[in-house]
Amino acid sequence: MKKVIMGNHALSYGAMISRSQVIAAYPITPQTQVVELLSEMCASKTLDAKFIKVESEHSAMAACIAASIAGARTFTATSAQGLTLMHELLHWASGGRLPVVMGNINRAMAPGWSIWTDQNDSLSQRDTGWIQFYCASNQEVLDTVIQAFKVSERLLIPSMVILDAFALSHTYEVVDIPDQEKVDAYLPPFHPVVRLTPSEPHAFGGLTSPEHYFEFRYKLQVDMEKAPALIEETGREYEKIFGRHLGLVEDYECDDADLILITSGTAGYTARVAVDQLRQEGVKAGNLRIKVFRPFPFEKVRQIAGKAKKVAVVDRNISYGHHGIFYQEVKSALYGFDHNPPIFGFITGLGGRDITPETFKEIAHLTMARDKAEEEISWIGVKR
Amino acid sequence: MKNKKKAEKIIFRSEKDVPLMPMSLGSMLFNKTGAWRNIRPVVDLSNCIQCGICWKFCPDVAISIENEFPVVDYDYCKGCGICAEECPSKCIAMVEEER
């Protein structure tokens, strides 16, 4: 069934069609609309789930962790300050190997208070052991929620499905909501390997001495390393049933590209417009959109970006004292490999300042004019 | 103490022995937190009215009820004194530990 819906509601429908059983959330704009619709679905029994109102995002994730330990398919959503308030509990979910799926709407961190998009909220959760998917359309948001449950429940690692504030969260697009029977066939009910029940009590996450701790972290990494292949496999399976491919990355006009613009989130689709215009001007440009940030798709980035003559990484985020976060990651992926093109780092669009095709064209021209990056960061669009 | 689990240390010889998540590792069987105690609760059973309030309030589950009277597990009682504070018949005294 096709519906015209906003990105927030694409998350809600994704959670509904995946048959989430427990939803715990605290309202923070713009995710408020995600759980508003889910609470209505729970009240009208469109969705047979327990909706838990809590008093903070920290508690929301705590409730999700408890529900997941009890064996329920669990969903929540948040944004910016809410996500960062959850930070401690994000470690509890991944360390406890609980396949919670969470929507996060990328909003810039305060101060100053901002309701506009940038990626520093979710990227500062980089090392919490969560899988991170960055989406570029409302359809992709819905599809990715379904896939995220499948991947998370297979690996017992939680997932974040991330979308840009306003550019997706409040933008209405046509979204195909798949048939329930088909989703049920793709995503069977969650059968946890360990389940907390009154008849079999356990202590979870108790005191873990140096004798024991190390191996739990080793196992989390080993399973995280299985995620890229599983995301590709479940993405192909998704395409067979629903006709839409879900992968680690999406490449556009990259095969013969001299210059590859690496992006994430909605900026990827803006970059495609710029790629078409650049090609009309005679610049052989391409766009590589990184969809999965954790685990980082090293192989795909090497295969695709390694072929280009130059790579420009466009970050809507910054690691203060270092540089753009995707720029760091792309550099670490390409370092030491045979095909190692010069990589240029650009920061733009912080706090929701528009990223337009002109932005990408400026970036492309700056990159093509230089042999190598002369500075760690090139700021695009900053008034200075 | 009733139902007290026999202490057996869990040792991982390889990662194959390791469960997916830290779960019921039994580490508290060996980590006897009672050693932290500076004052100990001593129950005067002759004044005890068997209300069970000390058992209910103990935050460390270090009081059990045996034959309807409280028994303190000094391996885990940290000496917080909540039981003495809550006891309605004031039959629990907090006595300084001598070391």
| CATH at A11 | 3.40.50.970
Domain boundaries, given as residue ranges, for chain B? 32-96
- Domain shared by A53 and A183, yes or no: yes
Give the single-character DSSP code of A197. Answer: B
Q: Does the beta carbon of B52 lie under 8 angstroms from any beta carbon of chain A? A: no
Q: Which of A78, A126, A124 has the alpha carbon at shortest distance from A100? A: A78
For residue A384, being part of any structural domain is answered with no
**pLDDT exceeds cutoff 60 at A355:** yes
- Domain shared by A158 and A299, yes or no: no
- Domain shared by A163 and A253, yes or no: no
For residue A347, being part of any structural domain is answered with yes
Of A242, A267, A292, the position where a domain reaches its end is: A242
Tens digit of pLDDT for each residue in A209-244? 898 899 999 999 999 999 999 999 999 999 999 999
Q: Select from A156, A219, A225 the residue whose CB has the most chain B CBs within 10 Å, as the one to mutate to test that interface.
A: A219
Instruction: Tell me which of A73 and B22 has the higher pLDDT.
Output: A73
pTM of the model: 0.92
Q: How confident is the model at residue B5 (pLDDT cuts 50, 70, 90)?
A: low
Cβ distance B11 to A204 less than 8 Å, yes or no, reads no
Q: Nearest CA to CA, how far is A200 from chain B (Å)?
A: 11
- Domain shared by A280 and A162, yes or no: no
Which candidate from A156, A208, A215 shows the least CB-CB separation from B27? A208
Tens digit of pLDDT for each residue in B47-95? 999 999 999 999 999 999 999 999 999 999 999 999 999 999 999 999 9
Per-residue H/E/C for chain A:
CEEEEEHHHHHHHHHHHCCCCEEEECCCCCCHHHHHHHHHHHHCCCCCCEEEECCCHHHHHHHHHHHHHCCCCEEEEEEHHHHHHCHHHHHHHHHCCCCCEEEEEECCCCCCCCCCCCCHHHHCCHHHCCEEEECCCHHHHHHHHHHHHHHHHHHCCCEEEEEECCCCCCCEEEEECCCHHHHHHHCCCCCCCCCCECCECCCECCCCCHHHHHHHHHHHHHHHHHHHHHHHHHHHHHHHHHCCCCCCEEEECCCCCCEEEEECCCHHHHHHHHHHHHHHCCCCEEEEEECEEECCCHHHHHHHHCCCCEEEEEECCCCCCCCCHHHHHHHHHHCCCCCCCCEEEEECCHHHCCCCHHHHHHHHHHHHHCCCCCCCCEECCCCC
Instruction: Tell me which of A48 and A29 has the higher pLDDT.
Output: A48
Q: Nearest CA to CA, how far is A20 from chain B (Å)?
A: 23
Which candidate from A193, A203, A212 shows the least CB-CB separation from B12? A212
Q: Does the beta carbon of B61 lie under 8 angstroms from any beta carbon of chain A? A: no
Give the architecture-level CATH label for domain B32-96: 2-Layer Sandwich (3.30)
Q: Give ipTM to 2 decimals.
A: 0.74
Cβ distance A208 to B19 less than 8 Å, yes or no, reads no
- Domain shared by A8 and A139, yes or no: yes
For residue A356, being part of any structural domain is answered with yes
Mean pLDDT computed over A338-360: 95
- Domain shared by A364 and A216, yes or no: no
Tens digit of pLDDT for each residue in A96-132? 999 999 999 999 999 999 999 999 999 999 999 999 9
- Domain shared by A58 and A92, yes or no: yes
Taking CA–CA distances from A195, the nearest residue in chain B reads B23
What residues are paired with A313 via a beta bridge?
A262, A345
- Domain shared by A36 and A130, yes or no: yes
Which candidate from B18, B20, B23 shows the least CB-CB separation from A156? B20
Cβ distance B12 to A213 less than 8 Å, yes or no, reads no
What residues are paired with A52 via a beta bridge?
A24
- Domain shared by A206 and A262, yes or no: no
Which candidate from A205, A207, A215 shows the least CB-CB separation from B28? A207
Cβ distance B21 to A205 less than 8 Å, yes or no, reads yes
Q: Nearest CA to CA, how far is A131 from chain B (Å)?
A: 17
- Domain shared by A12 and A50, yes or no: yes
| Domain housing A255 | 249-379
Which candidate from A95, A156, A206 shows the least CB-CB separation from B25? A206
Of A192, A207, A242, the position where a domain reaches its end is: A242
Q: Does the beta carbon of B12 lie under 8 angstroms from any beta carbon of chain A? A: yes
